[in-house]
A and B are shown apart, each in its own frame.
Chain A
Amino acid sequence: MAGITARICGICPVSHLLASAKTGDKILAVKIPPAADKLRRMMNLAQITQSHALSFFHLSSPDFLLGWDSDPAKRNVFGLIEANPDLARAGIRLRQFGQTVIEKLGTRKIHAAWIVPGGVRSPLSEAGRQWIVERLPESFETVQLALGLFKHLLDEQFQAEMNIFGEFPTLYMGLVNGNGEWEHYDGSLRFTDSQGNIVVDGLNEDDYHRFLGEAVEPWSYLKFPYYQPLGYPDGIYRVGPLARLNVCDRIGTEGADRELQELRDRAGGVATSSFLYHYARLIEILACLEKIQELVDDPDVLSPRCRAQGGVNQLNAVGVSEAPRGTLFHHYQVDENGLLEKVNLIIATGQNNLAMNKTVAQIAKHYIHGSEIPEGLLNRVEAGIRCYDPCLSCSTHAAGQMPLHLQLVAADGRLLNEVYR
């Protein structure tokens, strides 16, 4: 199953691999060796780095640097190259760094079926370790460059967007470790609210069906998960980079904690605008690099004792990890031979579905007055959704190009206007 689910997505296969293998660990009822825990962590950190780099440098930076009123034909990575080729190149190098760490660990960049139930197939090689050590400084420079750029733009240009692109109260959910620190691989689930209060803490993924509901709507392929005690749709919550930074007490590394504090100072406490997902991604890249730096100096990552063996000892198991876009659940039921009888996946993009819809509504309410759809609205709707960096292949099984089609519908159901891209 780990090998199959990794192929759901070409951008974050490691996330599915990890959640699936963790579910497999429980089915085998094994405790994985410390070396395997650290190696899995390293791969997930690399995965978050490369995925966030793609989102920030190549999908979102054109919005920041060229503006939402620019021609969509130019408001893309090619416009970015014209405006700032060094940034585009640095983004590619950062993404390459993450991809290559994955390759050094798993021998393949994508679909690396290296994480297996019970641990991992092999340790990091000394040559691989050396490569990571040598490339880390450049990656730190790139993320610091991007952080400086984004903060400058936030100060100069983006105050309005902060208040329009998904600025509303919701709950936030993410993993934290035993000390309440930022977690991406293990730990327990925590919900907080927009005032920073812990709503519930120490939740175990095994009980997800007790605190998460999954609504469906006839007009969407995407599920609508919600926090069950508050019902649907009041149980709206957000996951992903911003949520992870909101639920944790601290990150646990020096540079990232400094940036987290600055984010909280700028936001006046809890960062409630989805526009700040971009900022959170950069802070998480820094956190990932710092944690990779810690791990790469740990002798365990070279240890060959990295896999526990076992048979089918449990028939029902839930695994959880933090994918770049948010918390990812895999739930399997198997028979005595380990053959799957039932599978449920709760994907990060689905969990942000309610918030994405609310963001679109907020942008529309701000810009649309009457029946005219103003120029640039489609760009802003697109950018509002892009804050969440949704993975449509993971969450909807979509194939092919995603069209943008915006319809303005009156209260009585009449179609007033529509625009396409």
Chain B
Amino acid sequence: MKTLVIGYGHSLRGDDGVGPLVAEQIAAWNLPDVRSLCVHQLTPELAAEMAQVEQVLFVDACLPNCQRQSPPILKEGVRCKIERLFPATFPHSLDHSWSSHTLLYLAKTLYNADPIAYQILIPAMQFDYGEPLSAIARAGASWVLGTLASEAWLRRNPARISGSVYGTPHHPERQRCMKLV
């Protein structure tokens, strides 16, 4: 297995379910060497699964203003983002959830594994109870699925990509600042 996709979020809290939705669709593609998981939240045993692959893609919903490092937000305030992730430690307190950075750290320190990892953030606007996604999250999911299907992300030998990829679902032309290495 080369690539692990982890879509996470609450599938009954509106746009928070966009990560699992994307992961579910990727799983349905039945791609060779790709495993796709839908999870409610990140938990430590995922590190053991991450240690088995070369690349991990975390797919999550994100409020537009959480993308602090990104270029200026477009008028709609909507943009998907794919960015490299690196291991890091963050102390946690009373909750049961973990971050993608901490799982990478776990994979590295416990299993001596250093998969290339990316965080795919899909803009999300509403988190009320219910399954339907907002139009923005739907468009974001569609952009991400299209990007993952058409680029090198899920192929047998995924290209290593540095920097970030930005996509604006409403616009056919994607903003890009991507470098293949």
Residues of A within 8 A of B (CB): 4, 7, 9-11, 13, 54, 58-59, 72-78, 81, 85, 88-89, 91-93, 95-96, 99, 109-111, 382, 385-386, 390-393, 399, 401-402, 404, 421
For A7, give its contact among B11, B43, B105 (CB under 8 Å): B11
How many contacts A-B (CB < 8 Å)?
88
B151 at the binding interface (Cβ < 8 Å): no
On whether the beta carbons of B93 and A54 are closer than 8 Å, the reply is no
Expressed in whole angstroms, the minimum distance between the Cβ of A382 and any Cβ of chain B is 6
B116 at the binding interface (Cβ < 8 Å): no
Expressed in whole angstroms, the minimum distance between the Cβ of A156 and any Cβ of chain B is 26
Residues of B within 8 A of A (CB): 10-13, 38-41, 43-45, 47-48, 89, 91-97, 102, 105-106, 109-111, 127
On whether the beta carbons of B40 and A392 are closer than 8 Å, the reply is no
On whether the beta carbons of B91 and A73 are closer than 8 Å, the reply is yes
Chain A residues whose C-beta falls within 8 Å of the C-beta of B39 in the assembled complex: 10, 109-110
On whether the beta carbons of A111 and B11 are closer than 8 Å, the reply is yes
Chain A residues whose C-beta falls within 8 Å of the C-beta of B40 in the assembled complex: 7, 9-10, 13, 110-111
> B-side binding surface: helix, strand, loop or mixed?
loop
For B91, give its contact among A4, A76, A110 (CB under 8 Å): A76
Chain B residues whose C-beta falls within 8 Å of the C-beta of A11 in the assembled complex: 41, 43, 96
Expressed in whole angstroms, the minimum distance between the Cβ of A151 and any Cβ of chain B is 24
On whether the beta carbons of A401 and B95 are closer than 8 Å, the reply is yes
On whether the beta carbons of B94 and A81 are closer than 8 Å, the reply is no
For A382, give its contact among B47, B94, B127 (CB under 8 Å): B94
On whether the beta carbons of B96 and A10 are closer than 8 Å, the reply is yes
Given contacts A77-B106, A92-B110, contact A386 B94 (CB under 8 A): yes
> Most chain-B CB neighbours within 10 Å: which of A72, A77, A401, A404?
A77
Chain A residues whose C-beta falls within 8 Å of the C-beta of B110 in the assembled complex: 81, 85, 88-89, 92
Chain B residues whose C-beta falls within 8 Å of the C-beta of A93 in the assembled complex: 48
Chain B residues whose C-beta falls within 8 Å of the C-beta of A4 in the assembled complex: 12
Identify the 5 closest CB pairs spanning chains A and B, nearest first: A10-B40, A10-B41, A78-B89, A76-B91, A96-B45
For A92, give its contact among B11, B48, B89, B94 (CB under 8 Å): B48
Expressed in whole angstroms, the minimum distance between the Cβ of B51 and any Cβ of chain A is 10
Given contacts A96-B45, A96-B48, contact A392 B94 (CB under 8 A): yes
On whether the beta carbons of B48 and A402 are closer than 8 Å, the reply is no
Chain A residues whose C-beta falls within 8 Å of the C-beta of B91 in the assembled complex: 72-76
Expressed in whole angstroms, the minimum distance between the Cβ of B99 and any Cβ of chain A is 10
